[in-house]
Amino acid sequence: MRTLLALSALAGLAAATLPAYTVNRPVIRRDSRADAVKEAFSHAWDGYYTYAFPHDELHPISNGFGDSRNNWGASAVDALSTAIMMRNATIVNQIIDHIATIDYSKTGTMVSLFETTIRYLAGMISGYDLLKGPAAGLVEDSRVGVLLEQSKNLADVLKFAFDTPSGVPYNMINITSRGNDGATTNGLAVTGTLVLEWTRLSDLTGNDEYARLSQKAEDYLLHPEPARYEPFPGLIGSAVNINDGSLANGHISWSGGADSYYEYLIKMYVYDPERFGLYRDRWVAAAESSIAHLASHPSSRPDLTFLATYNEENQLGLSSQHLTCFDGGSFLLGGTLLDRQDFVDFGLDLVAGCHETYNSTLTGIGPEDFSWDSNGVPDDQRVLFESAGFYITNGQYILRPEVIESFYYAWRVTGDETYREWVWAAFSNVNKYCRTASGFAGLHDVDAENGGGRIDNQESFIFAEVLKYSYLAFAPEDEWQVQKGSANTFVYNTEAHPFKVYTPQ
């Protein structure tokens, strides 16, 4: 999931009520760890349901609520697929009851096409796929159809965003006036992270309009112009002109604003290799170019690997984000799918680099932003840079999932228990430092004592991603687990909502 909110904070909350676990306790069995994650999920849900439902998110220190996602109950919809996987029928029924009441045609605030697609639309479609598939029988089947019905209702409300000269959509739209924010460009990730959800909706409903809209926008990215904004094969600029679909710059990155475009290229091929072979080819080109041109090694820790950025002045930027740490999982998924050991090996190198950003802080949790540019090391972080290969440029943690996500992919692809232990350590530290009496809060500074104080916001993706990936690492084998090679029957969207891969009727 890829956004950052401005957050207010309160400090001084009592210590977490559940003791932290460590990877050095061999008495903890796999099923016990799965149960611990399920308990954390229920704890977060109970606090949200008590103090914030049906609003979008809980403020877990003040026990207030926020409505950053249009007051449609983002945390509830984002929690659905995880609750299904955990087979918590009580919570699943509560969420379905809520979804049936949502009027997606009404909100008092601007709507993000991107955020609404990856959280609401994907959450409902995924719930439908799971409850009509491997989780059938968890709730009464007669209750499941509303998820697809409401998915269609939401897409019908949103689809005017694509009504532009090029078909590249506006992101920020006013669904009441059918207006927009007047932007002239859209982001690479925003434009390129709609196609999985909207295509799946077409395949489920038999109405190809949703797929056509999203794939027309994506087509500009698959055939980018002008050529100067594709400095290396497959790597393209981070903004798209809404008027004509041309690229608006040549800034290259796997970080926020560009990230999930690359993520979806290979995932569309997982979804349907017959229709989306070009998406695979573009991902392969981007992956090979990234290894050749963006791979970067800190001068103080040349054993580590991060992905740099690249600008129009032909300069590398030696900085990255927590968001970017999905990259290891993407290389691992593509590598196992395509039988490319070089991609798998590079993915594991990226996973190890992101692990260092967790392993080297006082909380054992990684920062929002970091750098390894030796020319900019702050004096008070020189020791950290020399030992860990990076320094912190933004120490916040807002419950992001990407590092745990890539640890999970590393374990599923390699079977190496090391990566599952890394999942457990990360979850345990989130549970220790972020847990409040009613949920989970962000941290101001991951490298300060007790996280530097807590941020009074519980993002919906704690339900959708952090606790899902933590659970899956220790959960029983199920159809929705990531598989090696081409054996996947589900593919995860960027908010970790699993969709059933396409099978011809």
Give the bridge partners for 172, in sequence order.
112
Exactly one of 368, 369, 373, 456 is catalytic; which is it?
A: 368
Exactly one of 115, 197, 272, 445 is catalytic; which is it?
A: 115
Residue 361 in marked binding region:
no
**CA–centroid distance for 284 within its chain:** 21
What span, in angstroms and rounded, lies between the C-alpha atoms of 50 and 377?
45
Catalytic, 456? Answer no
Strand locations in 148-280, DSSP E?
Answer: 172-174, 179-180, 185-187, 239-241
> Which of 280, 123, 118, 130 lies closest to 214, judged by CA?
118
Exactly one of 402, 405, 447, 465 is catalytic; which is it?
A: 402
Q: What is the DSSP letter of 494?
A: T
Instruction: Work out the widest C-alpha separation in the chain, in whole angstroms.
Output: 63
| Residues counted in the chain | 505
Q: What is the DSSP letter of 140?
A: -
HEC sequence for 405-436: HHHHHHHHHHCCHHHHHHHHHHHHHHHHHCEC
Catalytic, 368? Answer yes
Give the bridge partners for 240, in sequence order.
186, 247
Catalytic, 402? Answer yes
> Which of 398, 370, 399, 368 lies closest to 384, judged by CA?
370
Exactly one of 259, 272, 356, 465 is catalytic; which is it?
A: 259
Catalytic, 259? Answer yes
Which two three-digit tokens encode residue 37?
């994650």
DSSP 73-102: -HHHHHHHHHHHHTT-HHHHHHHHHHHTT-
HEC sequence for 341-405: HHHHHHHHHHHHHHHHHHHCCCCCCCCCEEECCHHHCCHHHHHHHHHHCCEEEECCECCCCHHHH
Helices (H), ranges, 11-57:
30-51
8 A C-beta contact, residue 133 and residue 500: yes
- Give the active site residues: 115, 259, 368, 402
Cite the annotated binding site for Ca(2+) by residue number. Answer: 494
Q: Which residues define the annotated binding site?
A: 494
